[in-house]
Structures are given as C-alpha cells and as structure tokens.
Chain A
Amino acid sequence: MYSLERPVRGQSSSPKDRLGRKRRTVVSSLTEDEDNKVTTTKYSFLSFIPKNLFEQLHRVANIYFIFLAALNFVPVVNAFQPEISIIPILLVLTVTAVKDLWEDYRRHKSDKFINGLLSCGLFYHRKQQTYVDQRWQDVHVGDFVRLSCNEIIPADMLLLYSSDPHGVCYIETANLDGETNLKQRQVVRDLPQQVCENFHSRIECESPNNDLSRFRGYMEYPSKARVGLHNDNLLLRSCTIRNTETVIGIVVYAGHETKAMKNNSGPRYKRSKLERRLNVDVLWSVVLLVIMCLTAAIGHGLWLRNLKEASFLIPDTTSPALSGFYLFWTMIIVLQVLIPISLYVSIEIVKLCQIFFIQNDVDFYNEYMDSRIQCRALNITEDLGQIQYVFSDKTGTLTENKMVFRRCTIAGVEYPHEENARRLEVYEEDEAMGCSHTLKSRASAKSLSCKSLSCNRSSVSLHTLTGHSEGEEPPSPTLPQQSAFSSPLEKDIVPDPFLVQKLNSLSSPLFLLKDASMELTYIVDFFMALAICNTVVVSSPNQPRHVRFGLPRFSTLSPPHTTESPRSFTRRLFSRGKAASFTPSEENKMLHLTLGACSGLGNSNGAQGPPGEPGADELIYEAESPDEAALVHAARAYRCTLQGRSLESLLVELPGMGSLAVRLLHILPFDSTRKRMSVVVRHPLTNQVVVYTKGADSVIMDLAESPKGAEQSDGRQGHIREQTQKHLDNYAREGLRTLCVAKKVLEEEEYEIWLKRHAFAETSIENREELLLESAQRLETNLTLLGATGIVDRLQEEVPETIEALQRAGVKVWVLTGDKQETAINIACACKLLRSTDQLLTANCGSKEACKALLLELRAEVERGEAAEGTSGFTLVVDGRTLDFALQEDLKGDFLELSRRCRAVVCCRSTPLQKSHVVKLVRDQLRVMTLAIGDGANDVSMIQVADVGIGISGQEGMQAVMSSDFAISRFKHLRKLLLVHGHWCYTRLANMILYFFYKNVMYVNLLFWYQFFCGFSGSVMTNSWVLIFFNLLFTSAPPLLYGILDKDVSADTLIKLPELYKSGQNSKAYLPSTFWLTMLDALYQSLVCFFIPYFANAGSDADMLTFGSPINASALLTILLHQVIESCTLTWLHVLVLVGSALFYFSFTLVFSVVCVTCSPPTNPLGVDKLQMSQPLFYGVCALTTVLPHQLAAIASVPMSLPVKLQGLEVPSLCY
C-alpha cells in the first residue's frame, strides 16, 4: 500500500490507521507508478521455463520421477542409459508445459487486447492542462479520466463530475457480475465544479480489496473539511457508463488492485473424490513396487552368496548384501512404470475433453438466453456422477424467479385479483410444454370457487397482452438477454375491479363514503409505497437505452402540482390518516370541493387508455430484484406510476392527482439481516417526513406496533394486523411470496435527531456498516401496517420430473430457502419433493431443550413409521430458528440422524450462513458427496462449501455463477448433467484409471518375472527405448479415447432409468475390490504373456531381445485387445487409434531394428525384430499369448451373460 500524497516519484508510504489496517491515500499527481496495466498471465517470455518447471516440481509425482531419473545417473544402480530415464519425466513435463503455455497464451492475448484498448475516453494531462487519449495500460492512480456514455471504465475511480445536473451517473455492471440493470452512482458530495484544474483534495480510502459492494474512505478538501466516500461514489473497472453524457473521475485503484481484478480468481481447483481414491491406489502401487524391488534385492543377495567364481560375474569386492541394496534402487528404476506416470496428465486431458463435450451438449442450450452450460471448474467432472445429496435453493432455482404480482391485501381487506389469476393461467397454457407443472395453476384452482366480479376489462387486457408478447423484442441487439426487463407476464397486471372501484371513487364526484376515505388513505399510501419504496431505475424504450434521456425529461417536467386543490385535498387526507383528528363533515366538504377540480385530471388520465397498454411513453423498470419490479408494475396497474427517479427526488403519478415530485431523503437499502428496506421521503402533499418500509412479513409484523397515543386507530390497527396475518397465511399456503408494506410518519424533531446520527454513520469510515444498520433499525420502529402483497413465482419447467428423477437415482434432495414455512411446503408439494403418501414432520421450536426433545421425538416417530407400512417416506421441515439449535455441536448428531432417515428435508427461513452450515455438516459428518445449486448471492456460501457447486444464471445476477463450478440456465438441466454426463464422466474416468493401472501392472510384471531368470540382476529383455515408450507412446492414446468417448449406457437409458446413477454413487466402478481384481487380472495376463514365450524359448538359442520381442508384441496386443473387450462402444475413432497404436509399435520396432547399429547399448536391437517378424514362431507365440488371457474373459463372460438373461432382468446397458 502506498500513498500518492505528494507528487513525488517513488515516495510511497503505507500509513496505518489506529487499528493497524492499511489504508491508501490518493491525490492527483504526476507519479508514474502503479499503472493500470493488467497481466493475468503467469509467465513471461523468459520466466516461462524456470517458473513452469518450478511449479511442476511442486507435484509429488513429478518429484518422484525426477528422483528416479537422477537415480539413474548413479553408476552403481543405473539401469538404463541416463538419457532414457529422463524421457518419461521430460515428456510429462513437456505435455504439461505445453498445456500451461497454451492457457497462458490465451490469457496473454486477452490482456494485450485490454491493455491496448485506446478508450475514446480522455485522460487529463496535468502538464498540458488538457485531456489526451491514452491506452488503458497507461492510466495511473491519481489520474483524472473523462469518459463518455457507453464507454467502459478502465480502472476503479471516484466519481467527481457528472454531466447530469443531479450529479448522478448510471453504470451497467454486466461485465462484472452479469446484472444488466443500471446502477446509480453519485458524485462526491460538496465538490467544487472545476475538478481537474485545481484539485487539491486528499483522498483516503481502504486498501485494495475484493469486496465489490463496499468502499469506504473520505476526501479531505484543502479546507480540511472531510466528506465520506462510499460505494455509491465508486465507478468500477469494466463496468459501462450508461445514460450519462460525460463523467470525470479520479483513479483510486488501477490494474491488479481494482476490485474487478481482485475478484477474478480464475478457474477453481478442487480435488475430486475419485482422485482421492486414485491417490490411495497410487500409494498401493508404491507399496507393490517396494515389495517387488525388495523381493528382487533379497533374491539377488541370496543368489550372489550361493555363487562362487563364475565366469559371467564381474569380479568386485562388493558384498552380496550391498549388491542387494544397490539392486533395490536399480529395480525401482526398472519397474518405475508401475507408478502410472502419465496417468495424471492423461486424467487432465480426459477431463478437458469431457468438459468439451458437456459444454457442447445441445440439451444445455437455452434459446431464450442464448447461453450454454459454463464449466468453471475443470477437474471435478466425475464428481457429478457420485452426488448423494443435492441442496437446492428455491427461488430462482426451482422457480422461474419471474415475480408476478398476484394479489394483495390492504388495510385488512383482501383483493383476490381473479382476473389476474386467469391471465396467468392463459400465459401458462401458451407457454406450457405440455407437462410443465406450475404452482400457479394449483393456486388458482383453489380460488376458482370465488366468482369473479367483472369480465369486460379482462378481454381488453388479454388482447393487449397478446399483442404485446408478439411485438416484444429485446430492445437492443447488444443485450440479447434482457433479464432486467420484464416480460409482459410480469408487466400487465389486471387490476382487481373492486379495488379499482375504490380507487376510482377518489376521482369520482360521488365520493362520499365516510369510512372508506380512511381506507382510501391506506390504499393510496399502499400503492405509493409500492411505487417508491424501491431502487428501481426507470427508462423508456422509445429512446435508445444508452443515451441519456430520463433526466432532461425529468427536469423539463414542470411540477404539475401547481394547482393547489389536489394538494390540499390529499394533504388533508393524509393528515387525517396520520393523526385521525378531522371531523367528517369538514372532510366531506373538502372532498366535494377538491374532487371537482381533480376529476378532470383523473378523466384525462383515464382517457389515455387502460394501464398496461403500450403507449408512446411506456416506461421500463429495471430493478435489482424481480420482486421490486413486480410491485412497481402492480402499482402502475393502479395508475400509481413511478415515472422517474433522480438522486434526490422521485416522480410519481397518482390517480387523480397527476405527476408529483416526491423528495427522496434517504434510501435504507435491503439487507438480509434486517430483511426489509425503507425510503424516507418528504410527502409531496402533506410535506411530512414519511418512512415507507417493505419487507418480510415476520419482520414487519413485529415492527408494526400500534402507534402510541393514538388509541382511536389502535383498534383498527389491531384489526388490520389480525386480518393481514390471516391473509398472509392464506397466501403462503398458496405458495405466494409475501411482502408487508408499512409506513411511519416522522415528526420534524424526531427526524432531525435521527438525521444527525445517520449523517455521522454515513461519514464514518470504520464500522460504517454497523452504524448504518443501527441507524436504520432506529428508524424502522412503530410502523403502521398498510397491507401485504402476494407474488407468484412460477415453477420452472420440468422441475418435478427432475426432482423425481434425482430421487429415483438415490439422490437426497434438500430445499433450503429463506421463504416462509407454508410457502416452502407448498413449493415442495408442487415440485413433487413431497408426495401425498409422505409423512410430514415439522420441527419448529423456540429453545434448545425443546429442540432436543423434538428431535428425539421425531426420530422415534420415524422409527415407528419405518416399522409400519404405508408411508413411502418422511419429509422433514425445519425452520431457521430450529435449525440454529439443531446445528449446534451437541444436537447436530441427532439432527443428522433424523434427517438421514428422511427422504427429503426442507429448511425454511434459513439465512445464507445457515445454508452453508447445513451443507458443511452433511458433507463432513455423513461423508457424502454434496451438490449445492442456487442462483442468488445468498447461495454463494453454500455453493462454495459443497463438493460441487452449481449456479443458475438467472434473474439475480451472476454472483452464484461466479462462485460455482458449473453454471446452468435451468434447473431441469441438472437431470442430464448428473444422470448422463455425471454417470459417463465417472465411469469413463474410473475405467480409464483402472485400465491404466492394469496396463502398467501387466507390463511391469513381465519385467519382474524375468528377474527370476537373470539372477535378480535387474536385466530387461527389451530395448530400453521400447520399454520407456511402451507406456508413453504405444499404449497411451487408446485409454485416453476410452476415457473420453466410452459409453457404458446410452443417454436415453440413463434418463429413463435414473436408478443406474446409483452405481456411481456407491463408486461401483472403482471400488477397492475392483482395483485388486484388476490387479489380479493384470497379474494373470502378465503370467501368460511371460511364461508362454518363456517355455517356448526355454533352452533355445534365443538372445535377450529375441526373447523379449514376442513378449512385448503379445503384451501390446493383449493390452489393446483387453481395451476392446472393456470398451462398451467402439467408433471409427477407436478403431483408428487402436490400429494406429499397434501399427506404430510394430513399425517403430521394425525401423529401429534396422537403423540402430550401435545405439542404445546394452540393448542394441539391431536385426532382432526384423528377424523375428520373419519367423513363424514369433507369430505362433504371439497368437497363443494373445488368445489365452482373453479366452478366460470370454469364458467368464458367457456364463455371466446367460443367467442374467435367464432371470429376465433387463440390463439396459450397452455392456452387461
């Protein structure tokens, strides 16, 4: 960390604050250090070889082989010529290096592109006092950067100037997190206009970190005044400027210190379960190797001791024991092939190819979003085939996360919105894929008993609606996936006629209902809250999205409330709502008076056509969360339209009152601890400070205390709360997402006091978050409950089928959601997680003791249920509080024991932290493979904890995707991903690994058997080149192909019979027993391969290489033939590679035996293979040795295939 306090080159200091945390100070400067050049490459041209070597040497396997190579240089133990023993390690290092180089080159290319970007943005040059163009890489900390609309921000910079009169600028963060909605940023407060020419302020901010949502610091003006800086002032690298003509900023973080780069951690590295298993077996191989070498060493010692004065012995003084010791090391070199050196490289190659196939699967392609599956982790493909537990988020994962306003309750009165329900159904029929099961239909089926009130309106809106869906195209071709833009489904809400009637009465002259006016205030307030209590950005489709539009229009809009009458009317209305201190007669008179004036306005409004009709000035709402958009659209349906937003005010159109500018005082944004958000506004009509809060029902209900000193409304509030709670319960049962809306009117003094403390909180650098939270909590008390909304979230297509398939596959599916219990259960029913035959166990308790007792009780119940018949399974439903207790150290055992016996578990009301705790608990305690799938930021921790994390790229940005191993676009893709690709990847890789072991053991044992006939002296009967290449070249390609292309079961069958997945879960393809069976098979085959040539040549005049030649050839043929039998499918590629391998071997040895005159001593192959291949005996031996090992396989297979058929069992695999 350094400071740029003085424009002195190289003077970088790292001032530490009181807490010892490092900070950074930035002033505008001429310093040249810390440029914006980004290098994500690992190597430079010169450093590649040393650095890559160094990295590769960190791998244990490589060290082992380098040790072997070095060992071969020791004269007393060397087995081969020195150069030969280097070949394997050299080859492996080279292949890995080439792979690394290729990856690095790709990074280098993108770096070069980015660094060289000559942004048309202008960079202020101090000396010349003008702006000059610069490349991205030449931007430095402390530079001023001027950017225009649609330019990409080159570095993290503080916003100092915006052409917008309100000092606001919009950025699109799609490059960073994939969110396409616009985010608002604002200029540092109280800044002089001429920022660049005489900028003498000092900026202190935190050290570079990777937290995208947090930025703290302050700016000290020359006058020593300090202004707090926060995230709203920061423009992040790689975001795009939108809707703002010019901005100027000062760079605070450049290059690698930018938050974007800090977040870019590259692909993830995880170790798969199979690889852990593999490592165990590699260790077994080492043990085997040591045993073999020890045998040889002891054998050699004994052999030497019994031998006296033989003419073939080279006289030396070494004792037999020492010779044995030397021989041990020689044998390790000779038998090194036993440790599959190329296996690790091969696995990496195979996994890359598997990834290639997964990525190219056309079934994972999403037409609507034009996205395929993204594989971010490259080395855990086979884990997909071993998943035992799936933890799923609900919203956005099981459901569409397309929030549609469904119904609401205001002031204790329920408005069922029957037409709206019908509309949703129509949509579903339009879209339904025939069998798609959605929640909505269930919900509406229930409420169909209520008779709808009016039908005439619905036809109109349905008509407009269809017109819409056809005409609705993505607004800009550059952004084909406008997830932020709502579809007509979300936009066109059909208002409830009864509610419309009530609202209309506001503008109707017949508005005389005495008590209804009270309710009317609630209604108006309710929709007002829906319209403004959010962070929605408004734009218009008529104007291109990327040029500024909203604000000039906004500013030219003269406040339409110049007429005094509506203002005073509503002021009265609202003041009454607040204090309830009006007299009815007065009120009525006022209403008569005012409504006459405002009815005209209302009519003219109405003449524009029904809401939702595509008008010339149709607005587009871009919201961070789809709920918000849904609510704003709902409010709009009732002509309570949010028309524009600036930093300080909102433009809202109210029914009967036209457009009103609402002064926005504060936004207390949503966070997961508070579970609510609030806006503080100055009410345009009453001029009071009003807090509108919306949030989770549980929270708001607790906060909505009866206001003190207002006894009169007390009873009413109580009634409203009671009714609303009842409706909320109903909503939840229907599976709707519920939100409560409340408000609070602040006294001026109250507000002043709060404001002071809030300002302090905002400017403080330390503990800013805590202070802000506290401040928000102080404000959000004593709320008046207005009502609640029910939002429909449709189930994604094929979710029930997918869950059913997963359950049939033996995967336990847990749903972890933050939603209410009733909603969660309902969704669980809808997606067939919960079946009608299931017994539902609910665990809700308030204390730890109760929780313990409950867990035991439920367990007893499960045990009883298991004994009894009739129930197909148990489903446990736990709420967040109980989960807290259950996750504690002493109860987690009971909890796990209980949940293990349940077919499914639903955790509702759980926080992100709890989600990850649950996953971790299950993963660690039950030692199972876990998969977490989610779409939102709240699932990130869970995704990271699980063995396999899957992100759904959907509505809620890309945080989940960024932290995931695989990113899919729909939940249904999980089925094919696990059942087909997971199964394939696992069996392929497992089989390939086993085959590798087989191949190596089989070949090495040939060399080992020979030791018994050469006095355990470490001789080999093969040319050393052939020996080394045997594994590396001649037999390496077929297993790769086997690992990439083999299909034991066809994709259709795997989808049809999810039960087949269980073989992967139980690691059937690669059990320890399978490993040892493979070893035995290899042993047997090597015995055959060695001893048939041995006996055929016993006592003959065969020399060593002549003896070895048929052994090698038949070993090769045996190994290849073994592969053919093990393979389940053979394509032309297989044939090509298998035949190619054999041809390669024979041509290599043949050519080698002709041209190698004095090379490769002492195993000079001159003439050997040429002669051998001209002799019938060679082929006779080869034929016998190749047939014999597989004869056994054939004999074994035929009876095996018979009984299976006899039992009439359908074995759907391609193999049996």
Chain B
Amino acid sequence: MAPSYNAKEEDGHQPGATGHGGAGTMTNKKPDNTAFKQQRLPAWQPILTAGTVLPAFFVIGLIFIPIGFILIVYGLTLLIDYTGVDMSSPCYNCSQSYSWNNTQSCTCSVHFSLDQPFESNVFMYYGLSNFYQNHRRYVKSRDDSQLNGDKTSLQYHICTLNRCSKECEPYRSSDKPIAPCGAIANSLFNDTLELYYIDPNGSRTAIPLVKKGIAWWTDKHVKFRNPSGNNNLTVVFQGTSKPVNWRKPVFELDPLDSDNNGFINEDFIVWMRTAALPTFRKLYCIIQKKPNNMTPTLPRGEYILEVTYNYPVRSFDGRKRMILSTISWMGGKNPFLGIAYITVGSVCFCLGLVLLSIHYRYGKRNNSAEISS
C-alpha cells in the first residue's frame, strides 16, 4: 500500500487566473476554482506494488511467527470426560439411571493423573458438548430485569399486565412467578465436582476450590442483583416458586456462603452467560496458587474427581467434562490460534522472499519504462 503523493493533483491553478479582470465585480455564475470543487484534492494512492507489499509481508511474518509460538507453548490443559457413556466408565451407572425428577443423588469417582505439574492459578471448568445454549429460543428465555433485582418482575400480577413474563415462557407456573424464570435458569448445571489429590502414601487430600471470582465483575455487581429491601432473601423471594428442575430455591443455592445466594450466585451467573458454541466450558472454580510458592498448585501425581451426578446429558448425546487449565497472558492455551499465526506468518515471509526474488530479477529491467503516474 504505497502512499504515493500525486503532485499533479495539486491545486496548481490560481482561482481567477483565467477570468477576466473585471469579472470579479459582476455577480457571475462562475464556479469556484477550488481544489475540492474541481476534484483536485491532493490524494494518496493506495497502490499495491511489489515495492510496498514486500516490506509488509516481511513485517507481518516477523511479528506473527513469535506470537504463534507463545500461543502454542504457554498454558496447560487437562480434560476429563465423566459422562459415563462406556460401560467401563465409573459414572456409567449414574448416567443410566438418571432423570431430572430423581431426588436421590448419584455419585461417582473418576481417577486421573497429572503428568506435568500445574503452576500458578489453575482454573477448573465443567464442559458440556452438544448442548446448544445458543439456541435462539433458549437464549431468549430469561428476564434480565428480574435478574437485575426488579421487584415488579417477581410479582406475578404485575407481570401479566405488561412485559416481563413473555420472555420466560413457558417456564412460568400459573399461580406463582418463578424466580429465576426461563429456560436458561431452569437448565442450570447442577453437578458437584470435588477434587482430591492422592498422596504417594495413599491418603486423599481435598483440594480447596474457590468459587469466588468465577463470574465477571460487571455481572456480579451490576447486571445481577437481588431484590433490595430486605437482607433476608427468604423473605424477598417469598411468593415465588423455584424453577421446575431445581431442587433448591434460588436463595439456598450456596449453603456455605450466604453472600453467594439469590441471583448473585456466581455459578448461576456463569451459567446465565450463554455459551457461544454447542461445545463449551464454564468456569467452575479456581484452584489458587499456594502461598508458600514452593510447591506447584497441582503437583504431578494421582487425583480423584468426585462427581455428584445430577445433570442429564445422555438424552441429547451430550458429554460432560471436567477441565483444568492454566492461563497465560494471552488467555488460555490456544493451539489453533498459535498454529494459525505461525502459518500466516511463515507464508507471508516465504511469499515475501519469492516476490523479492521475482522483483529483483524482473523489476530492474523496466525501471526505465516505469510510468510517471
């Protein structure tokens, strides 16, 4: 892209130079002889020529290839499928017997080992596949104003008058408003995952999983809010009913942390941010780096994943996974992007070389015949 300044386009003619001497005094219709009106504005021509494209190719090549390596090298990811499709799988039984209406929870333990230690903070995700959280009608089935603490949205009789309820169809009972309403909330992921490290000596150590900070700050503090007025959530949510598939009402989601209940429950918030693609992961918790900094967050060794198996995915051929990942400054490990960067970068570089040789061989020959544009 060569910015070649075109000197000819310059406004060379002086206005009035062609006019008669006395013409100025008369009111004549002569158009102004300005560069703009005469379309003679100085212009740059973005011409792609060998001379301009080549440096661009080299620069792109030199920048992209290192970035690609960084994206490939940094970051670790471990992925454990615990759906229980195979007979051999530890969760097979749970997956077979399960439906939404079960009150009895089923647990299973999955053994796995880490070949590499995970340094720094480790992010633990649950992953679902073939789960279309981006289905249009599913995405729509929520009430943002209810989630933002709008009390009127919790009161059924007002809802009938105007807006709120339509979004949550058909997850709405006839007598009491559902809190939180809608299909997204109704299908909240409710498996519980626990992670244990098996010492070489055979004892199990529970790894502390921190639930705080898994949701976006803006979501937790701006977008999602409990209805105000009373600190006691039980009172606030009085007169509402829980979603059909839920076992506990919204104000009892986190029995351990009372600040993590209601609409601002972080698991709930994370779930409500509908995934873009049918195969997705969602942040379950964070395994924080140990303060002494001597041992890695997750040392090499054997681990057990304890799953309270509640969430049915077999009916739509879904899969459930647990994912452990560390994050670099570019985000998580991103092999595709890394490879893409390296590919594009090296293609640019190679093409640059090829074109340079062509240009070197043929370009000189017609330098004399170059057009003076």
Interface residues in chain A, defined as those with a beta carbon under 8 Å from any beta carbon in chain B: 75, 79, 307-316, 330, 357, 359-362, 365, 367, 370-372, 480, 1013-1015, 1017-1019, 1021, 1045, 1047, 1050-1052, 1092, 1094-1104, 1106-1108, 1124-1125, 1127-1133, 1157-1158, 1161-1164, 1166-1167, 1170-1171, 1175-1177, 1180-1181, 1184, 1187-1188, 1191, 1193-1195, 1197-1199, 1201-1202, 1205-1206, 1208, 1210-1212, 1214-1216
Contacts and interface: CB of A to CB of B under 8 A. Distances in A.
B336 A1202 contact: no
A1048 to B, nearest CB: 10
Given A367-B19, A1050-B8, A1103-B275, A311 B45 contact: no
Contacts of B45: 1128-1130, 1214-1215
A50 to B, nearest CB: 30
B206 interface: no
Most buried by B among A312, A1125, A1202: A312
B222 A1157 contact: yes
A1098 B333 CA distance: 12
Interface string B313-336: 001101000000000011110101
Contacts of B1: 1124-1125
Interface stretch (B233-241, B260-268, B362-370): B362-370
A312 B39 contact: no
A260 B289 CA distance: 91
A1162 B167 contact: yes
B216 A1171 contact: yes
Given A1158-B148, A1177-B337, 8 more contacts: A316-B170, A372-B30, A1013-B277, A1099-B280, A1100-B332, A1184-B341, A1201-B48, A1208-B366
Nearest to A356: B37
Nearest to A1014: B134
Contacts of B183: 312, 314
B370 A1167 contact: no
Contacts of B318: 310
A1180 B337 contact: yes
A1193 B48 CA distance: 9
Contact of A310 (B132, B148, B282): B132
B9 interface: yes
A469 to B, nearest CB: 15
B29 A371 contact: yes
B73 interface: no
Given A362-B30, A1166-B222, A1208-B369, A1133 B144 contact: no
Interface in B258-293: 273-283
B277 A309 contact: no
Contacts of B242: none
B181 interface: no
Contacts of B142: 1161-1162
Contacts of A370: 26, 28-30
Contact of B344 (A372, A1166, A1175, A1188): A1188
A1090 B208 CA distance: 39
A1094 B336 CA distance: 10
Contacts of B23: 367
Given A1103-B274, A1201-B50, A1130 B348 contact: no
A314 B138 contact: yes
Interface in B33-70: 33, 37-39, 41-50, 53, 56-57, 60, 64, 67
Most buried by B among A362, A1193, A1208: A362
A1197 B187 contact: no
Nearest to A981: B39
B138 A1129 contact: no
B156 interface: no
B127 interface: yes
B340 A308 contact: no
13 contacts: A308-B316, A310-B131, A359-B31, A1050-B6, A1100-B281, A1125-B48, A1129-B43, A1158-B150, A1162-B144, A1166-B222, A1176-B331, A1199-B358, A1205-B370
Nearest to A1104: B276
Contact of B50 (A1129, A1177, A1198): A1198
A1108 B290 CA distance: 36
Contacts of A1125: 1, 46, 48
Most buried by B among A315, A1103, A1215: A1103
B371 interface: yes
Given A1108-B276, A1157-B222, A1177-B330, A1101 B39 contact: no
Contact of B6 (A367, A1158, A1208, A1214): A1214
B20 A367 contact: yes
B133 interface: yes
A310 B332 contact: no
Contact of A1096 (B132, B216, B222, B336): B336
A1167 B369 contact: no
Contacts of A1214: 6, 45, 47, 373
A1202 B362 contact: yes
A1130 B43 contact: yes
B309 interface: no
B136 interface: yes
Interface residues of B, number: 111
Most buried by B among A1015, A1095, A1180: A1180
A1014 B135 contact: yes
B276 A365 contact: no
B219 A1166 contact: yes
Given A371-B29, A372-B29, A1215 B371 contact: no
Given A1129-B43, A1197-B48, A1167 B222 contact: yes
Contacts of A1128: 45-46
Given A310-B316, A312-B187, A1201-B50, A1157 B334 contact: no
Given A308-B316, A1099-B127, A1208-B369, A1166 B223 contact: yes
Contacts of A1133: 41
B355 interface: yes
Given A1015-B135, A1131-B43, A360 B32 contact: yes
A178 B19 CA distance: 25
Contacts of B359: 1202
A694 to B, nearest CB: 38
Contacts of A1161: 140, 142-144, 167
B170 A1092 contact: no
Given A1021-B276, A1052-B8, A1167-B218, A372 B330 contact: no
Lowest 10 CB-CB distances: which A-B pairs, in order? Answer: A1167-B218, A1107-B276, A1129-B43, A310-B316, A1197-B48, A1017-B136, A360-B31, A1014-B134, A1103-B273, A1095-B336
A1187 B60 contact: yes
B340 A1184 contact: yes
A1107 B48 CA distance: 33
A1130 B38 CA distance: 16
Contacts of A1208: 366, 369
A1013 B132 CA distance: 8
A361 B38 contact: yes
Given A1157-B223, A1166-B218, A1197 B330 contact: no
Contacts of A1175: 331
A988 B329 CA distance: 46
B170 A1212 contact: no
A23 B110 CA distance: 103
B9 A1132 contact: no
B366 A1205 contact: yes
A314 B133 CA distance: 11
B50 A1202 contact: yes
